[in-house]
Amino acid sequence: MRAERLVTKSGSWEDMRANFVWPRPANFNIAEQICERWARYEPDRRALTYLRPDGEIRDYTYIQLSRASSRLANALRARGVQRGDRCAVLLPQTPETVLTHLACYKLGAIVVPLFTLFGEDGLQFRLQNSGAKALITDMANLEKIMNIREQLPDLEVIYSIDERTGGTFGFWQELGKAKDQCEMADTTPDDPAFISYTSGTTGPPKGALHGHQVLLGHLPGVETHHNFLPQEGDCLWTPADWAWMGGLTNVMMPALNYGVPLIAHRMSKFDPEHAFWLMKKLKVRNTFLPPTALKLMRQAPEPENLNLRSVGSGGEALGTELLDWGQRVFGTTINEFYGQTECNLVLGNSYTAFEPRPGSTGKPVPGHEVAIIDGDGNVLPAGEVGEIAVRRPDPAMFLEYWRAPEKTAEKFRGDWMLTGDEGMMDEDGYFFFSSRSDDVITTFGYRVGPTEIEDCLTGHPSVTMAAVVGVPDPVRTEIIKAYVIADRADEALKKELILRVRERVSPHVAPREMVFVDSLPMTATGKIMRRELKLRG
C-alpha cells in the first residue's frame, strides 16, 4: 500500500495552495486511518520501534498494534466504557500509549492525554473537568492518582501497565482475556476524538475538543515542514511528549498514518547527548525538536554522522544563530512552523519549496487561511502589526472548549479564530510572530515584542536561555527586564549583553535590568511563562 500525500509538490508554494483540496470523507476514524488499513494490506510492516528504559529495542508491526488495540477496546467496553466516554492516558512515550488511543477511537470514546510531570492538582483539574471514566497509567504515576481518587467520582476504571495496587486492573492481564477483533465505531470527521488541555499560561487550562478530522488537518503541515514526507527511509522521532499536540498530532499520528516507522522512548528529563545518540542509533531521518531542546543541544558536544533529512521546530521563534548552528550540525535547514493547541500547524516553512526568511515562521500551509487582523476583525494590509487569526472552517481547528461555551465564543471574532498572538505579514506573504498579546512591552511609547531581544541575548556564546518581560515604570510605562541563564554571572557579562542588544537590535530595546538565574518557568510544552516572570517584578 502506498501512502498518498495531501500536498502535491508541483510549481510554486502559491500554486500548491491554489490547487489544494481537502478530502471530504463522510466517515473518518483515526484508528482506521493510522492503523487498520495498514494492518489489512501490509500487516507485517514496522509501525513502531520502542527503546525501553533498560536499553532493549522492540519493534511492533501494524497487525500487532491492531490486534492488541482491539483487545483493549473490548476490555474497556466490558468495563463499561462506551462511545462518548472519556478515557485518560497518563503515560510517557510507550506502546501502551498508542494502543490506548487506537482502542478509544475504535470505541468512539474520547481520549484525554495527560502529561506525566503533572502534579496532583493538575491531574485532578483535568480529570474532573473532563469527567474521565477510565484511566490508563503506570506505577510511577499511580500514587498521584490514588491520592486524589476520592475527588474523582466519574473515574470508575484504572489500568496500570506494570505494577498495580488495590482497586486497579492489570493492563496486559485484561488484554489477555479479550478478543483481538472489534467493531469500529462509525465516526464522522466532526465526531470528537480527544481533549487537549491548553498549557494554562493565562488562567486555568481549557480543554480543546478535537474531532477525528484533526488528523487530516495536520497532514499538509507535517508533509511540508518535513520536506514532503513520506520518502524512502524516513523515520520519525520527537522528544516532545505525546500528551501534547506537538508530539501527538505532529509526530505520533502522522508517522503511523504514512507508514513511517515511529520511534518511542521515555526520557524523564531531556538529555541532549542522549538525544543525539538516539537519533544516530535508531537511524532517525525526521524529527520535531522544540526550541528549548535545540537550545540545550547547542550546549552539548556536537555529534558526527547524523543522517537527518528534515528537522521541524515550533513554539518559540528561533534566532539566526540557532538556525545557523542547526544547519551545520544537522546538515539540513530547520523548518520553523506555527500553531497552537486549538489550531495547529497552519503556518510553516519548507526550504525545498521556498526560501525561508530569517525571523519568519513561514507562510500559510496549503489548506489553511491565515491573516493579520485588527481588534474589529478586519484583515490588515502587509506590514501592519495585529493579531494572527485563522479562518474557519478548518479541519485542524478545535470543535469547542470542553464544557466552556462562553470561552469558545470568546475565541472567535466572526469566522476568525483568535490566536492571542501578535504578528505581521510582509509583502511576500511571510508571517513574523512577535509575541503573545499579553507579552507585549510598552516602553517609551514603543510596543516591543520580547522575541527579537531574546534571540540576540541567546546568540551570545555564554548564554543558554533568556526571557524578556516588561515591568512597571512610572516614567516609561514599562522598562525591559531580562532573565538570563548563562555559564557565568558577573557584571562584565551583564554590560556585554546589554551592549550587544543596543548594537544589534536597537538602543531603545536594550534591557535596563538584567538578572542571572538558574532556570526559567516553563509550561509543560517548553514555552517560557513570561507571565510568571512579570509577577516577580
Confidence (pLDDT) at 201: 45
DSSP state at residue 82: -
- The dotted CATH code for 441-536 is 3.30.300.30
Of 120, 52, 63, 58, nearest in space to 90 by CA:
120
All cell numbers assigned to 137:
497509567
Q: Could you write out the DSSP letters of every residue in 386-412?
A: EEEEEESP-TTB-SEETT-HHHHHHTE
Three cell numbers, residue 263: 520511534
Give the separation between CA 131 and CA 153, rounded to whole angstroms.
8
Cis peptide before 23 (omega within 30 of 0): no
Strand 400-401 versus strand 386-391 pairing type: unpaired
149: exposed, middle or buried (C-beta count within 10 Å: 0-12, 13-18, 19+)?
middle
Q: Distance between CA 22 and CA 31 in Å, rounded?
A: 20
DSSP state of 341: T
Q: In angstroms, rounded to a whole number, what is the distance separating the alpha carbons of residues 465 and 83?
A: 45
Start-to-end CA span in the chain (Å): 58
| DSSP track, 186-210 | ---TTSEEEEEE---TTSS--EEEE
Give the span between the Cα atoms of 11 and 374, in whole angstroms. 33
Cis previous bond, 507, omega within 30:
no
194, three cell numbers: 480527544
How far apart are alpha carbons 196 and 126 in whole angstroms?
10
Contact criterion met (CB below 8 Å) for 354 and 363: yes
pLDDT, residue 441, reads: 82
Q: How far apart are CA 343 and CA 338, in angstroms?
A: 10
**How many residues comprise the chain?**
537
Q: Are 76 and 134 in contact (CB under 8 A)?
A: yes
Long-range contacts of range 484-487, CB-CB < 8 Å, 24 or more positions apart?
A: 484/457, 484/514, 484/515, 484/516, 484/517, 485/516, 485/517, 485/518, 485/519, 485/520, 486/460, 486/462, 486/516, 487/462
Please work out, in degrees rounded to the nearest 5, the angle formed at the alpha carbon of residue 272 by the alpha carbons of 267 and 274: 60
CA-nearest of 148, 158, 142, 93 to 122 is 148
The amino acid that residue 243 corresponds to is: A
Q: Which three cell numbers stand for residue 490?
A: 558577573
Cα distance between residue 428 and residue 67, in whole Å: 50
pTM of the prediction? 0.88
- Contact in structure between 433 and 440 (CB atoms under 8 Å): no
By 3-state DSSP, what share of the chain in percent is helix, strand and coil, each rounded to 5? Answer: 35, 25, 40
C-beta of residue 469 within 8 angstroms of C-beta of residue 521: no
The residue assigned the cell 463522510 is 26
Whole-angstrom distance, CA of residue 441 vs CA of residue 444:
10
Beta carbons of 422 and 435 less than 8 angstroms apart: yes
Identify the three-state secondary structure at position 158. strand
- What is the DSSP secondary structure assignment for residue 137, as one 8-state letter? E
Task: Return the C-alpha torsion angle 119, 121, 125, 131, nearest 10.
Answer: 70
Sign of CA dihedral 318, 320, 326, 327: positive
Strands 386-391 and 370-373: antiparallel
Give the β-pairing of 386-391 and 513-516. unpaired
**Residue in 267, 264, 335, 323 with CA at minimum distance from that of residue 298:** 323
537 residues of the chain, pLDDT tens digit each: 888 999 999 999 999 999 999 999 999 999 999 999 999 999 999 999 999 999 999 999 999 999 999 999 999 999 999 999 999 999 999 999 999 999 999 999 999 999 998 888 889 999 999 999 999 999 999 999 999 999 999 999 999 999 998 899 999 999 999 999 999 999 999 999 999 998 644 457 899 999 999 999 999 999 999 999 999 999 999 999 999 999 999 999 999 999 999 999 998 889 999 999 999 999 999 999 988 899 889 989 999 999 999 999 997 778 888 999 999 999 999 999 999 999 999 999 999 999 999 889 999 999 999 999 999 999 999 999 999 999 999 999 999 999 999 999 999 999 999 999 999 999 999 999 887 766 778 776 566 778 778 888 998 999 999 999 999 987 777 899 999 999 999 999 999 999 998 887 778 789 999 999 999 998 766 778 888 898 887
Domain spans of the chain, in order of start: 29-42+55-212, 441-536
Could you give the CA distance from residue 469 to residue 441 in angstroms, rounded to a whole number? 7
The 3-class SS string of 282-332 reads CCCCEEECCHHHHHHHHCCCCCCCCCCCEEEEECCCCCHHHHHHHHHHHCC
What is the predicted pLDDT for the residue at 524?
67
The CATH H-level superfamily of 29-42+55-212 is ANL, N-terminal domain (3.40.50.12780)
